[in-house]
Structure 1
Amino acid sequence: MTFPISEQSPVTWPGPHPDHADVVVIGGGVIGVCTALYLAEAGVRVVMLEKGRIAGEQSSRNWGWIRQQGRDPDELPIMVEANRLWRDLAARTNVDIGLVTGGVTYLARSDADLERYADWLPNAKAAGVDSRILSSREVAELVPDMSQTYLGALHTPSDMRAEPWVAVPALAGIASRAGAVLVENCAVRGLDISAGRVSGVVTEQGRISAPEVVLAGGAWSSLFLRRHGVHIPQLSVRATVAATEPLPEIHAGGVADDRIAFRPRADGGYSLAAGGFHELFVGPDAFRALPKYLTQLRADPFGTRFLPAAPRGFPDAWGTARHWQDDDVSPFEAMRVLNPAPNAGKVAALQRTFGELFPQIGPVGIKAAWAGMIDTMPDVVPVVDRMAQIPGLTVGTGMSGHGFGIGPGMGKVLAALVTGGAVGHDLSRFRLARFHDGSAMRLGPSV
């Protein structure tokens, strides 16, 4: 399978969908797929609907890191469970998803970096994660032949990686075999609401009656919810990734400093990305949500580049419809797969920086480059919550660039929320009301 998945990728699950279900899951990214999987395993009649392709958006465009390191302390227990679940799921498919335990390493170029890493370390200890601080000498031994000397690093040996454009479709296969009905190329235009609560969904193919709906729509979630009077301060930022041609092995795990992040891929090349850099297309939602993001902007004023307007059809583009009827073609059908162009200048910079960091490997050829839209929240942690305004609706969105790795853990949490089962984790940090009830903004850790 080529990377990333796009609208040109073949449809694997054409449908049609049934007329009735116990639960409808909206969104075929890693969160939606895993939610459907665990609902099916619980004996629930579940239908998962994707407007384009399973993993067509950020779920096949991310770095492929499965990391516990640097997580918000409230996310970390879910991520520790996800780490275990990934191993279990990889063993349940005959597809090689590229799951490798290579560790994750954050390099320190300053004393401030080391201080931030040390401040986070007690979270790892509390969760039983094997993170530790490396000395400058240990960094040189772990990742040899770098042209730059680092003061130290934060390192988590048990962290993993996988090939997302292979892994998420493989998880969809497991969900299907467990009994979930998966349908691609089928947009949900809106919720069907009766007597103030969910009674199903209206799709481009017709209605599905269901008493429960899970929205895992990624970058499209805010647009979908706004139509139903639920306002969520979610924005989407563009992140660019480049894939190199095959290169000599440098290091088996994921590595990042403040300029570049890299990790080996199964094809012998490396995935490169800019550490801590993303781009926001300014649109109506950006203006509405700005007050909620002031704390984040003050903490990292140079981490976001602002662009004047999103391309036509993007969720927060100025011309994207905010209101439509159930028998209208929705914005979700108008753009089946959100496929932003990569930042060409950033790709060239990544190529140059990687070559300068490892001059002994010779010329760095770029095989491909792509971008994805990361759904993010003001405090850099997701919304995972039952919607009090609309009984029967559960939302899991705003994973803030953490979704691929934590996907199985969050999918299991969402399935438990819907069925009333034991969630096993404290979700108070992820409630939607935190943005409206006067709670102080508490940013996730900037590591």
Structure 2
Amino acid sequence: MAFPIWPGWLPWGTRLYDLCQSAQAATASRSRGIQRRLSALSTPSRYTNANHQLGRQSMAETTEVVIIGGGVAGCATAYYLAKAGVKATIIERNSIAGQASGFNAGGLNPLQGAGIPGPLAALAGESFKMHQVLAEQLPAESGIPFHSKTLVMVNVAFDESELSDMKETLEIFEGADGFSAHWMETDELLKMEPRMNPSAIKALYTYGNVSLTGYDYTKALCKAAEGMGASVVAKEVTGLKTSGSRVTG
């Protein structure tokens, strides 16, 4: 039994700036963007999000990048593309952050999770650094605070069998820059939280994970992207039209 330590949630947008620079170079060599025909799109759906009404029912005939979906992945992509000078259009059938991106726990732990430690560790570390930059810049760029804060977590053991995993967590946190961890004995734990079950044998105190409000974070990415030239269209994509290797609508 423990105060939960959230699993590694990989923030979207990692390495997107590098990818956007490549996209910018590619689009610069073309005299026009990808032609997008609205015949591939259905009629607008209803929008009830009072904080971000997607009432823009028209879309330029030409755009460099179309992003299908206004979740955190789509909005982060639009944000970093806009940073690189690439115009993007988000097409969202519901509301920005209206699905899973707006209702996730918002926990950032780059040290633990599926593939971490392991093959995804470097990706998670770089993603976390990008989040730290965004925590400073994005609220000012968008006007939307998303309440990013560093967490203290306490993982409580009631049985000796739980200590091996906690010891591994201790070593991981001690070895990472900006993170720390230490053991707490029962008396120290009870001073921190007198209502704790006194049968606890030990606890692990960790510092460094971050939490944020996923809904506001996604909205902030979208708003900042729009401020740099991205656009949002309230439509539903039902298919793609192609001509050779090009998407035309």
How many angstroms does 1:121 deviate by?
Answer: 4.7
Assess if the C-alpha contact under 8 Å between 1:136 and 1:149 holds in 2: no
1:303 aligns to what? none
Deviation string, structure 1 residues 160-194 (Cα, Å, up to 9, x no partner) = 222233332122111111221122x3222223333
Q: Normalising by the residue count of structure 2, what TM-score does the alignment of the two structures yield?
A: 0.64
Shift of 1:25: 1.6
Deviates more, 1:106-115 or 1:50-59: 106-115
| Residue equivalent to 1:187 | 236
1:179-218 matched pairs, under 5 angstroms: 179-183=229-233, 185-195=234-244, 197-200=245-248, 207=249
Give the match's secondary structure for 1:158: strand
Distance 1:111 1:193, change over 3 A: farther
User: What is the CA–CA distance in structure 1 between the aligned matches of 2:199 and 2:143, rounded to whole Å?
Assistant: 42
Q: How does 1:23-102 map to 2 (within 5 A)?
A: 23-71=65-113, 72-73=116-117, 74-75=120-121, 76-88=124-136, 89-102=138-151
CA distance in 1, matches of 2:112, 2:198: 23
Q: In the alignment, which residue of structure 2 is the partner of 1:257? A: none
- Given that residues 69 and 131 in structure 1 are in contact (C-alpha distance below 8 angstroms), is that contact kept between their aligned partners in structure 2? no
Equivalent residues of 1:28, 1:54 under 8 A apart: yes
Q: Specify which of 206, 219, 223 is matched with residue 173 of structure 1.
A: 223
> Equivalents in 1 of 2:246, 2:173: separation in Å?
40
Secondary structure at the counterpart of residue 169 of structure 1: helix
TM-score, structure 1 as length reference: 0.38
Counterparts of 1:104-253 in structure 2 under 5 Å? Answer: 104-124=153-173, 127-137=176-186, 138-147=188-197, 149-183=199-233, 185-195=234-244, 197-200=245-248, 207=249
Gap runs ≥5 in structure 1: 1-5, 201-206, 208-447
Which has the higher Rg, Structure 1 or Structure 2?
2
In 1, Cα distance between equivalents of 2:211 and 2:73: 17
SS of match in other structure, 1:132: strand
Change (3 A) 1:157 1:77: same
In terms of fraction of residues, the more helix-rich structure is 2
How far does the alpha carbon of each residue in 1:269-310 deviate from its partner, in whole angstroms, 9 at most, with x for none?
xxxxxxxxxxxxxxxxxxxxxxxxxxxxxxxxxxxxxxxxxx
* Partner SS for 2:73: helix
Identity across aligned pairs (percent)? 25
* Cα distance in 1, alignment partners of residues 134 and 91 from structure 2: 23
Aligned AA for 2:112?
G
Taking the aligned partners of 1:186 and 1:121, their CA distance within structure 2 comes to: 48
**Greater strand share, structure number:** 1
Q: Give the corresponding residue for 1:308.
A: none
Q: Which residue number corresponds to residue 54 of structure 2?
A: 13
CA contact (8 A) 2:183 2:203 kept: yes
Q: Report SS of the residue matched to 1:92.
A: helix
Q: Write out per-residue CA displacement over residues 373-432 of structure 1, whole angstroms, 9 at most, x where no aligned residue.
A: xxxxxxxxxxxxxxxxxxxxxxxxxxxxxxxxxxxxxxxxxxxxxxxxxxxxxxxxxxxx
CA drift at 1:46: 1.0
Question: Separation in 2 of the partners of 1:150 and 1:179?
Answer: 55
Corresponding residue for residue 6 of structure 2 = none
SS of 1:173's partner is helix
Deviations 1:94-135 (A, max 9, x none): 333222223344433443433223334554455524142432
Distance 1:151 1:80, change over 3 A: farther
Q: How far 1:58 moved relative to its partner?
A: 1.1
Is residue 104–residue 160 contact of structure 1 (8 Å, CA) maintained in 2?
no
Is this contact kept in 2: 1:67–1:104, CA < 8 A? no
Per mean C-alpha deviation after superposition, the further-off stretch among 145-154 and 35-44 is 145-154
Secondary structure of 1:189's match?
A: coil
Give the counterpart letter for 2:183 in structure 1.
Answer: L
Tell me how large the CA RMSD over aligned residues is. 2.9
Q: Sort the Cα spacing of 1:98 and 1:19 in 2 relative to 1 into closer, same or farther, 3 A.
A: same
Q: Deviation of residue 144 (structure 1)?
A: 4.8
* Count of residues in Structure 1 that have an aligned counterpart in Structure 2: 194
Separation in 2, partners of 1:148, 1:36 = 51
Give 2:28's aligned residue: none
CA distance in 2 between counterparts of 1:156 and 1:170 reads 29
Gaps of 5+ in 2: 1-45
CA contact 1:65–1:160 (8 Å) conserved in 2: yes
